[in-house]
Amino acid sequence: MNVHQSLAIGQPIAPPEAISSATEPDAMVRFEGISKTYPAYRGKPGVNALKNIDFAIPRGSITGVIGRSGAGKSSLVRLINGLEKPTTGRVIVDGRDISALAGRELRLAQRSIGMIFQHFNLLSSRTAADNIALPLEIAGWAKADIKARVTELLALVGIADKHDRYPSELSGGQKQRVGIARALATRPSVLLSDEATSALDPQTTRAILDLLANINRELGVTIVLITHEMSVVRQLAKEVVVLDAGHVVERGHVADIFTHPKHPITQSFLAEVIGDSLPVSLASRIVAEPSAGGQAVIRVQVRGAGAGDTLVARLARELGLDVALLSARIDEIGGQHVGALTLGIPGSEDAVTRTLAWLSQHQFAAERLGYVA
Ligand SMILES: Nc1ncnc2c1ncn2[C@@H]1O[C@H](COP(=O)(O)OP(=O)(O)OP(=O)(O)O)[C@@H](O)[C@H]1O
């Protein structure tokens, strides 16, 4: 885990801004009143996979869609590229209602929507170059143009030397680079990533996520990232949508969601990635009741650069209390420093009440974790 421990941290937490509403004009993808029901089949009951979905994915953004298995992530992504039709509602991609298209019109629209997959989906009988060439062949490009474009794409994804290699001769990360090059071949405006790093080790995952970040930055491609891993969202996305049982239960800027997770499912995802931010040696000593001469343990969430470094001194000075910094943990999330300071203050109810009131007044989210002797 990429954890930056630093005390030069912390801004009071501002209220989270919602990401674009479904009607925002600069949306690349808009879900309008979407529901998706798979009909009953061979004695199996029908499934309401998506319900009342209304939100927009901003043009040029990297948006993570996170949810447990069965939450509806793949259904959502298949609606974006028109592989599934919604039961109700419309999906507008780059200004066009993709849910209304069929046949040749749909196939043409799909050229502007690239997709990468967990298991890469490469053709084993084709070299890296020929895999990348495939969508261009289907689109009817001239041979010379395909050759030039493939060379360019291989360089873009950092495997210019793998031109003639077959998938069986490539590592997982290299295979995914071929998948990314193939997905970008027809210059799409949207790139859909369906668990694209789930089969890769952490180091390769980081390299692929860095590549996707570059592609977003350099080419302006909007990226929609389907994942069940909050660490992937944390590393790459600026916006996140949390799906649970077919509903969007939470969405917003990644840094806001990480500091204000409201829904239990979001909280459980965060617990997996941030873990308990307390060192074990401290966590194991915390008890529910105060003891004479002991300290109350208060956790304070901080965000951004600036205010956190003076927090301890200000608290001590303004409230006239002895304040100890028991632990500090800061991550960089969505381009912001986000984390928590754990403070020890005198264990009296009066000190705890005054401290929590002061923190709240200064817009820091804080909680009492318990007491240490
Ligand atoms: N073609 C289908 N026919 C019937 N039911 C389906 C179909 N595709 C998905 N479902 C059901 O719809 C629900 C949502 O599935 P979906 O694949 O969208 O979820 P997911 O979040 O992508 O899950 P996973 O992470 O396991 O892929 C599940 O209950 C699933 O069983």
Give the pLDDT score at 271: 66
Quick: pLDDT tens for 205-233.
999 999 999 999 999 999 999 998 888 88
Q: How many helices (H) and strands (E) would you count in the chain?
A: 12, 15
Burial (CB count within 10 angstroms: exposed 0-12, middle 13-18, buried 19+), residue 272:
exposed
Instruction: Answer whether 171's CB lies under 8 Å from 204's CB.
Output: yes
Quote the percentage of the chain above a pLDDT of 90: 66
Q: Ligand 1 center to residue 197 CA distance, Å?
A: 19
Q: Which residues of 220-235 are buried (b: 16+ CB within 10 A; e: fewer)?
A: ebbbbbbbbbbbbbbb
Give the pLDDT score at 15: 35
Q: Ligand 1 center to residue 133 CA distance, Å?
A: 31
Q: Which CATH number fits domain 280-372: 3.30.70.260, 3.40.50.720, 3.40.50.1000, 1.10.287.130?
A: 3.30.70.260
Please tell me if the CB atom of residue 71 comes closer than 6 angstroms to any atom of ligand 1: yes
Please tell me the distance from the alpha carbon of residue 81 to that of residue 143, in angstroms, as a whole number. Answer: 27
Please tell me if the CB atom of residue 253 comes closer than 6 angstroms to any atom of ligand 1: no
Instruction: For residues 16-22, give the mean pLDDT.
Output: 46
Model confidence at 18: pLDDT above 50 = no
Quick: pLDDT tens for 303-330.
766 556 788 899 999 999 999 999 887 7
Of 258 and 144, the one with more pLDDT: 144
Model confidence at 235: pLDDT above 80 = yes
Protein residue with its CA nearest to atom 5 in ligand 1: 38
The owner of tokens 């290299």 is 174
Give the pLDDT score at 230: 83
Model confidence at 4: pLDDT above 50 = no
Per-residue confidence band for 49, with pLDDT thresholds at 50, 70 and 90: very high
- For residue 41, the ligand 1 atom closest to its alpha carbon is 4
Give the pLDDT score at 255: 81
Of 301 and 332, the one with more pLDDT: 301
Instruction: For residues 132-148, give the mean pLDDT.
Output: 97
Least confident of 20-24, 272-276, 305-309, 366-370: 20-24
Give the pLDDT score at 8: 30
Please tell me if the CB atom of residue 10 comes closer than 6 angstroms to any atom of ligand 1: no
Protein residue with its CA nearest to atom 3 in ligand 1: 38
Q: Which of 74-78, 257-261, 296-300, 323-327 has the highest mean pLDDT?
A: 74-78
Instruction: For residues 297-307, give the mean pLDDT.
Output: 76
Which residues have a Cβ under 8 Å from the Cβ of 102 and sit 6 or more positions away?
none
Give the pLDDT score at 48: 95
SS3 state at 238: coil
Give the pLDDT score at 349: 92
Give the pLDDT score at 70: 92
Give the pLDDT score at 363: 83
ipTM field: 0.96
Instruction: For residues 64-87, give the mean pLDDT.
Output: 95
pTM of the shown model:
0.76
Give the pLDDT score at 367: 82
Per-residue confidence band for 301, with pLDDT thresholds at 50, 70 and 90: confident
Please tell me the distance from the alpha carbon of residue 201 to that of residue 177, in angstroms, as a whole number. Answer: 14
Q: What dotted CATH number matches 19-112+188-273?
A: 3.40.50.300
Residue 352 phi/psi, 5° resolution?
Answer: -65, -45
Give the pLDDT score at 134: 97
Give the pLDDT score at 88: 97
Give the pLDDT score at 1: 35
Per-residue confidence band for 334, with pLDDT thresholds at 50, 70 and 90: low
Please tell me the distance from the alpha carbon of residue 124 to that of residue 136, in angstroms, as a whole number. Answer: 18
Model confidence at 333: pLDDT above 90 = no
Strand order in the sheet with 336-346: 3-4, 324-333, 336-346, 295-303, 366-372
Pocket test for ligand 1, best of 41, 65, 74, 78 (most atoms within 8 A of CB): 74
Please tell me if the CB atom of residue 49 comes closer than 6 angstroms to any atom of ligand 1: yes
Give the pLDDT score at 340: 80
Quick: pLDDT tens for 257-272.
877 788 888 878 776 6
Model confidence at 54: pLDDT above 60 = yes
Give the pLDDT score at 2: 35
Instruction: Return the domain boundaries, the chain.
Output: 19-112+188-273, 280-372
